[in-house]
Amino acid sequence: MSRRIQISRNRSISHYVGVYVGRFRDIFSEELFCLRIPPNLLTILGVLCTMFAFYFLVGGAGDRIGRKNRTEMPAYVNESISSDISASMAGIYAGVLIFIAGMFDIMDGAVARRANRVSRLGAFLDSCFDRISDGLIFLGIMIYYLQHREIRYAHWYAILSVTALFHAELISYVKARAENFIPDCRVGYWQRGERIGAVLVGLFCGHIETAVAVLAIFPFFTVMRRVVFAVRQITGASHRGLSVSFRETDPSKDIPLKYFIRGSWGYDLMTIINLVLIIFIDIRVFHVFG
């Protein structure tokens, strides 16, 4: 029999954040239920918000906020080409719309549970719409850079965006496929909420290039973690980390850092590292591609 790893959810920062987010969700889902708003409508509204966000991402995902004229263009723009790419709030607008879409995504499941309308069909459609939304976000960023060849290494940022999309889709696919054979495959840090959060921070800080670089590199390890975890579960290998218990346990027994489950200190550490990278590092300025 596989050995279970117990998770502490009583001391970590993400535990408390999850508690408050859960309370917010429950309060608003109760209001939406009283208004008789169907959960499928919330799902559709979320996708519509992402579609509008796609429009703004294409128009200004990498724009710098507060730069009013061409004489203030930063060093990463080719000086031989006149451009005014930094004079818009499109990235902020896109971020706000993506955030609202995320709220709808949280609420639709909560309302469905409150109305006792949870179904396999609803879960299936919700999953499909999530994949569509991910595609719209990263394709919007990619198109922006394809349109702005005057930005130094714009083609690399477009490639990073596609790679980030590839990882986003593959992480979800591996989980869905693995759960045909094992009960759960939620291991690894980069779940959808974390990926969307990284995009939002990048947009609001004006460092979307750093965000897509992070999402083009680090989620690969979540893909491999899930593949290895599923293989070990399926083959019945007996060693440390074979299966994970997601129930609340003794706070003195923390999950190992490598699993990065929400509510653990390993998860908090990974979150802090990613926030620092995206908020304080602008890879355009550092010219990381040479």
Instruction: Tell me the pLDDT tens digit for each residue of 178-226.
Output: 988 888 888 889 999 999 999 999 999 999 999 999 999 999 999 999 9
Residues of the chain below pLDDT 70: 1-11, 66-87, 237-260, 287-290
C-alpha dihedral sign at 273, 275, 280, 286: positive
pTM for this prediction: 0.83
pLDDT value for 104: 92
C-alpha to C-alpha distance for 188 and 14, rounded to whole angstroms? 15
Query: With contact defined as beta carbons under 8 Å apart, do 185 and 154 qualify?
Result: no
Structural domains for the chain: 4-286 (1.20.120.1760)
Q: What residues are paired with 83 via a beta bridge?
A: none
Coil, strand or helix at 35: coil
Query: With contact defined as beta carbons under 8 Å apart, do 227 and 174 qualify?
Result: yes
Q: What residues are paired with 247 via a beta bridge?
A: none
Q: Spell out the alpha helix ranges (H) of 84-189.
A: 90-114, 120-147, 154-178
Query: With contact defined as beta carbons under 8 Å apart, do 182 and 230 qualify?
Result: yes
pLDDT value for 68: 43
pLDDT value for 86: 54
pLDDT value for 288: 54
C-alpha to C-alpha distance for 250 and 152, rounded to whole angstroms? 52
pLDDT value for 289: 56
Clarify whether 105 is annotated catalytic: no
With residues binned 3-state (H G I as helix, E B as strand, rest as coil), the percentages for the chain, rounded to 5, are 65, 5, 30
C-alpha to C-alpha distance for 171 and 259, rounded to whole angstroms? 15
pLDDT value for 290: 52
C-alpha dihedral sign at 56, 161, 220, 179: positive
What type of residue sits at position 250?
D
Query: Which residue among the candidates 63, 108, 130, 134 is catalytic per the annotation?
Result: 130
| Sole residue written with tokens 């045909």 | 180
pLDDT value for 124: 86
pLDDT value for 260: 65
| Sole residue written with tokens 């990073």 | 160
Output the six-digit token pair for 241: 């980390």
